[in-house]
């Protein structure tokens, strides 16, 4: 299935001209993404189509900035991923202390060492 059509960012053709070119008016391959934030919706999977300019759209709308390309204002921003009324992780959980010190996880100078370094992972 070919990628869906998209708003072309501008009217500038590719250089050198390509015979089968549609003016960047198509999305590319899918790119997985993860939203990491205290306000991320726990367990949420979105069905909204986002693209790389969704990040620009979010920043531009948040701070009332002009769009950088024609595609930005047409992009869905990232508010679909967020619950701004209830931060899921307002108080981050305490992290376990690492079992190894700096000497145990120092870089190997003679070749690759074991990954993960011995003693650096908390036993399950």
Give the number of other CB atoms < 10 A from CB of residue 6: 19
Prediction pTM value: 0.64
Query: How confident is the model over 83-106, as pLDDT tens digits?
Result: 989 888 778 778 877 766 666 666
CA distance 75 to 58: 9
Q: Which residues of 60-70 are buried (b: 16+ CB within 10 A; e: fewer)?
A: bbeeeeebeeb
Listed by start position, the domains of the chain span: 94-124
Query: How confident is the model over 63-81, as pLDDT tens digits?
Result: 999 999 999 999 999 999 9
If you write DSSP's letter for every residue of 45-64 in order, what string do you get?
---S---THHHHHHHHHHTT
């Amino acid at each position: 299935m070919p990628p869906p059509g998209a708003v072309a960012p501008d009217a500038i053709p590719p250089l050198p001209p390509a015979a089968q070119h549609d003016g960047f008016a198509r999305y590319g391959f899918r790119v997985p993404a993860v939203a990491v934030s205290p306000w991320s919706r726990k367990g949420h999977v979105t069905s909204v189509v986002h693209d790389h300019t969704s990040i620009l759209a979010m920043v531009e709308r948040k701070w009332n900035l002009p769009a950088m390309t024609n595609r930005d204002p047409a992009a869905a921003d990232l508010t679909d991923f967020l619950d701004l009324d209830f931060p899921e992780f307002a108080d981050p959980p305490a992290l376990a202390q690492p079992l190894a010190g700096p000497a145990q996880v120092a870089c190997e100078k003679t070749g690759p060492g074991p990954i993960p370094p011995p003693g650096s992972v908390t036993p399950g």
